[in-house]
Amino acid sequence: MHIPDGYLGPYTYIALWIIMIPIWYYAGNKLGRELKSRQVPLLALAAAFSFVIMMFNVPIPGGSTGHAVGAAIIGIVLGPWAGVIAISVALVLQALMFGDGGITAIAANCFNMAVIMPFSGYYIYKFISGSAPLASSRRIIAAAVAGYVSLALAATSTGIMFGIQPLLHKSAEGVPLYMPYSLNITVPAMLLEHIFGFSILEAVITALIFVYIQKTDSSLLYGEKEMAIERKRKKGTTA
Amino acid sequence: MIPNWMNQADVQPCHCSTVRHGKKGFVGKTIDGILGFLDEAFLSETFSRRPGLLQSLDPRAKLVSILALIFATSLIGDLRVLVFIYALTLLLSYKSKIDIGFFVKRVWLFIPIFAGIIALPMVFNIFLPGDPLYIVAYLGAGAHLGPFSLPDNIFITRQGTMAAIIFTVRVAACVSAVVLLFLTTPQQILFKSLRTVGVPKIYVLTLQMAYRYIFLLMDMVREMYVAKKARTIRSRGIMDDQKWVGGRIGYTLVRSLSMSEKVHMAMMSRGFSGEVHIMQEFKMTNRDYLYGALAISISLVLVMISQNIIRV
């Protein structure tokens, strides 16, 4: 999923930088207001976690192994805006320190994995879980669906970015300069690979992580601490 | 004062993991992955301390130069120019005392294998029509593969081969430039130099802290897997193992959040107020300006070539 340099032409990656810069700016301001001095340590540790989560190998049927991206669970636990910054920092580290993902493509990779995934993951989870109690199994299903759909969406978006390259960039001879395949190849290729493979694993892992947090400390989930205080206060006024 | 022997760095590459196992399950793969990660981090640290050309430049000049070069490379569509850029990165790696063999392997083995998989089908006329160069198979009229109809002949096209080579060399040239950047710059200094390209102070600090804590978390993960390996007699079902991994990721998440709380308190008790200060210890010399200007002018020429303002 990490797009290297040279896959996307300048129109695409520059457009994505133009999209991402205001998103980062807004996220930074919002978190600065909400977290104050806690911002740096919280985001640094969350970024380190986002980096490390991809190191956990998971057994999959057929004797092979895979790993989760984990962006949906980060969105669910930290909230989507903190997810944007934490995952972006992890992606910048991967690009700068290990050459994993391109420099020109940082904005494109951040858009797919640090914006689409935590946002879709968080809102799908919110939508399905509704007002179900924190310990309910409905929330586990919500987390699983969030993991599944968010990764499929990110894969589709990557496929679209690849697929528009031959439309945008061609040499004088009509030969494509960057990613050569058109949308009718890239989107199905990315989508099929994910909806029958990686997304299933993502769903399982997201659900399992969610179960663990549910059992140990569900107040960690984004917005739950404030909601618990709110509930207590309401109870206090009625009693 | 730091004694002299503490400042001396071992400039030979070191390998943390020398033990090789046979067939590996997910536990062995994770442990190997983490050791490989540490290996690579230490290796780039040793290269960045060697007395070479790029190491001696101011990190800001180096960062801007390499970013300009990558940007220009991403625009180029001419094979000769791309080969020139790739040769330039090889020359720079030689001048920076990075073993060429290691450098080439690092670039070609890791990343563009994926590029090769994408580039290979491009050479056939199934995806890109063009002039035949070599006929692979004659299928006859009306051949099809599932729902897709195939052309009468399958051949390798001249245009497709050219496009595939250009694509692969461009990816390799860009990757080489980034690899040069991080092999010749100590991490903490690289992060600080990001200030020059407009990254806010608060993110420079976040990057620096995240980088440090990655090692702590990695070690924690390695210990979990080693502990599991040490206690495993017979592997359980996939479901149980997946549950175990999910729980361990959850635990790592809970741990990192509680750690961030503690780190925050420790920072506050030492006078942190949310205001970020970063020590500026770089000094640009005339030599840095010269190299920076040289790299930027090369990049400008490359951009002009790509826009057909200069013809080669």
Q: What is the pLDDT along chain B (312 residues), one digit of tens a residue?
A: 778 777 766 555 555 554 555 567 888 888 888 888 888 888 878 888 888 888 888 888 899 999 999 999 988 888 888 999 999 999 999 998 888 888 888 888 765 566 667 777 777 776 767 777 777 777 666 666 666 666 667 778 877 888 888 888 888 899 899 989 988 988 888 888 888 888 888 888 899 999 999 999 999 999 999 999 888 888 788 888 899 999 999 999 999 999 999 999 999 999 888 788 877 778 888 888 888 888 888 888 888 888 777 776
Q: pLDDT, tens digit, for every residue of A50-70?
A: 999 988 888 888 778 888 888
Q: Which H, E and C letters describe chain A, residue by residue?
A: CCCCCCCCCHHHHHHHHHHHHHHHHHHHHHHHHHHHHHHHHHHHHHHHHHHHHHHCCEEECCCEEECCCCHHHHHHHHCHHHHHHHHHHHHHHHHHHHCCCCCCCHHHHHHHHHHHHHHHHHHHHHHHHCCCCCCCHHHHHHHHHHHHHHHHHHHHHHHHHHHCHHHHCECCCCCECCCCCCHHHHHHHHHHHHHHHHHHHHHHHHHHHHHHHHHHCHHHCCCHHHHHHHHHHHHHHHC
Q: Which of B44, B114, B209 sits opposite A44 (nearest CB)?
A: B209
Give the minimum alpha-carbon distance from B150 to chain A in angstroms, rounded to a whole number.
15
**A102 close to B (CB below 8 A):** yes
Give the minimum alpha-carbon distance from B108 to chain A in angstroms, rounded to a whole number.
12
Q: Which residues of B touch A180 (CB under 8 A)?
A: 118, 122, 127-128, 163, 167
Share the mean pLDDT of chain A: 87
Q: Please, what CATH class does the domain formed by A10-238 belong to? A: mainly alpha
Give the minimum alpha-carbon distance from B293 to chain A in angstroms, rounded to a whole number.
21
pLDDT at A221: 84
DSSP string for B160-190: HHHHHHHHHHHHHHHHHHHHHHHHHS-HHHH
C-beta atoms of A204 and B175 within 8 A: no
**B196 close to A (CB below 8 A):** no
Residues making up chain A, counted from first to last = 239
pLDDT of A118 strictly over 70: yes
**A33 close to B (CB below 8 A):** no
B residues 283-302 near A, CB within 8 Å?
A: none
Q: pLDDT, tens digit, for every residue of A172-194?
A: 777 777 888 888 888 888 888 88
Task: Please state, for a pLDDT cut of 70, what percent of chain A lies above it.
Answer: 96
Nearest Cα residue in chain B from A92: B207
Q: Which residues of B touch A210 (CB under 8 A)?
A: 250
User: What single-letter DSSP state applies at residue B132?
Assistant: E
Q: Which residues of A touch B67 (CB under 8 A)?
A: 103
Q: Are A83 and A122 in contact (CB under 8 A)?
A: yes
**A219 close to B (CB below 8 A):** no
Q: Which residues of A touch B210 (CB under 8 A)?
A: 43-45, 47-48, 51, 89-90, 93
Long-range contacts of A155-158 (CB under 8 A, 24+ apart): A155/A1, A155/A190, A155/A191, A155/A193, A155/A194, A155/A198, A155/A199, A156/A187, A156/A190, A156/A191, A157/A111, A157/A112, A157/A116, A158/A1, A158/A3, A158/A112, A158/A190
